[in-house]
Structure formats: C-alpha cells, structure tokens
Amino acid sequence: MLTASGLSLQSPCGTIGPMHAMLLVAALLIAPAPLVASDLLAEARRLYNLGQYDAAERVARDAATNVATIDRARVVLGRIQLERYRRSNDPADLASARTALRTTDTRALDARERVELAVGLAEALYFEDRFGAAAEMFESAMDGAAALGPAAHERILDWWATALDRLAQTRPGEERTAIFDRIAVRMTRRVQEDPGCSPAGYWLAAAARGRGDLDRALDTATASWVRAIYARDRGVALRADLNRLVIEAILPERAARLAARDQKAALAGMIAEWDAFKERWSR
C-alpha cells in the first residue's frame, strides 16, 4: 500500500495497514528527543557527582561539541581529568585537565561555574606541587563557594589548609610556624561561625601540632571531638581523622619529648587515657 508520499511502509509480514501506520507515527512522536546541550551538561555533572567518570566524560564531550556549552563543558572535563589523576597518578590525565581548564573562556560561565573553575585550577596547581599558589587560588574561591553549598565550602577549606600544610613542610622553622598560624586564625574564625565545620575542627588541632605546641594540639583535638556532635554526620568523619592525628602524631611526639626512660610505656599510658576519653564522649 502506498502512503500519501508514495512510499510503501513494509513490515516483515507485508504491507503495514492504516492502524499500524498510525501506531508507528505515534511511536515516533513520543520517542525521546536527543538531549539538548544544557541537558547533556547537567547529565555530565550528575555522572561526575556519582563518580562515574568515564560516562561523565563521554557526555561532557558531547556537550563540548555545541558552541553554547563548550566552555562550561570544559570545566566539567577538567574536573573529571583531575579526579582521574588523583587515582591514576598518570601525567597525561593532569595534562588533559590543565588544557581543558586553561582554555576555558570565563565569560561564558555563571558564578557557580567560575568557582568550580577556580577550584579546578587550584587543584591542578596542587598536583604540580605548587602548594603556595594552590593555597592562594583556593582562598580566592572560598568566598564564592557559598554558591556551591556548605559541603563544597568545607571541601575547599580543607583543600586550602592541606595546600598550606604541604607548603609548611618545605619551609624553615619560623616560616613554617607563620603558615600554621595562618591556618589557625582562619579555622578559629570558622569554628566560631559554624561549630559543626569538620575541616576547621581537624585543622585547629593539626595546626597546633605543626607549630610544635603538642599540649595545645591535644587540648584542641579533645575539644573538637566533643564539638563534633554539631557536624552534619554527627562527627563520624571528623572523629576518625582526629583519632589518626592523635594516635599517629600528637601522642608519639609528646612521648618522645619526655625524659622518661621508657617512652613506650609512657605512650601506652597516653593512648589508654585517650581511649578512655573517647569511650566517655562517643555515642
């Protein structure tokens, strides 16, 4: 049977009748349309947040073929490649991330995407061991991070302190102390603003330890342990980090400073006291 266009609609069983043709047209009308560029970008972000980086990259590259979303897609691609580098340590992944990020036209980005770009650039600098420059980039992004939500703000704060901590390890005594003072000042202010800020709770103790004030470090870790109930996860992540800091760094260094002949016994006593404290103050 010929249609109005003169074409025959064939099925394996022969010519399609009028009802079948109507059903075919209806199916075509309700078939999902290809994702538009903005939808592709949103899907790439969703997959990235789920940790599905291969799939996220494929979708982001599709979004990058559209002139309207190419620069926004480059931000996502850069972040994907950075996450790959974190896992692979392959210089090619870092080079790909750097290329995607540095070629982004910032005029095409909204406020949120500008912060994401700044964080990506800072991470790339960090992975190049340019810790001072990375810290400056993270700090410049921190105020705008409110647009990304409290969790993102905390991650950037943690990145900033981590970069400064790595920088401090390359500096002589007085400079190192000044860097840890810088961390302590910001983290003190952050805890005053939000007692549940986990990075602040951790880095207050870590900064005191970095300055060599081990008694203050232990006191701060103890206070942060108690204060952890304000955190969104009730302190699960913070307390795990604090425990490692106390057991692996603060207490061994305190024991090493003692004049006692048996430092192992002194350390064992300190650990027992810490464990007893945790038992009293844990849920």
Q: Tell me, what DSSP letter sits at residue 17? A: P
Give the pLDDT band of residue 150 (cuts 50, 70, 90): confident
* Spatial separation of the C-alpha atoms in residues 209 and 214, rounded to whole Å: 5
Burial class (CB in 10 A: 0-12, 13-18, 19+), 52: middle
User: Which residues, other chains included, contact 45 with Cβ-Cβ below 8 Å and sequence gap of 6+?
Assistant: 56, 76
Q: What is the mean pLDDT of residues 1-26?
A: 36
Across 51-65, 142-156, 227-241, least confident range: 142-156
Q: Return the pLDDT at 249.
A: 97
Give the HSE-up count for residue 131: Cα atoms under 13 Å, Cβ half-sphere: 14
> Does residue 3 carry a pLDDT above 50?
no
- Both 77 and 117 in one domain: the answer is no
Asked if 208 and 251 count as a contact pair (C-beta separation under 8 A), the reply is: no
For residue range 22-77, what is the model confidence (pLDDT) as tens digits? 333 333 333 343 456 668 888 888 888 888 888 998 988 988 888 888 999 999 99
Q: Summarize pLDDT for 182-222 with one digit per residue, the tens.
A: 999 999 999 999 999 999 999 999 999 999 999 999 999 99
- Asked whether residue 240 falls in the same domain as residue 149, the answer is no
Q: Is the pLDDT of residue 11 over 80?
A: no
What distance, in Å, lies between the first and last C-alpha atoms of the chain? Answer: 77
Q: Which two tokens stand for residue 168?
A: 């401090």
Our count of domains for the chain comes to: 3
3-state secondary structure 140-197: HHHHHHHHHCHHHHHHHHHHHHHHHHHHHCCCCHHHHHHHHHHHHHHHHHHHHHCCCC
pTM over 0.85: no
Q: Which domain does 130 fall in, by range?
A: 110-170
Task: Clarify whether residues 131 and 104 are in a common domain.
Answer: no
**Last residue of a domain, which of 93, 109, 125?**
109
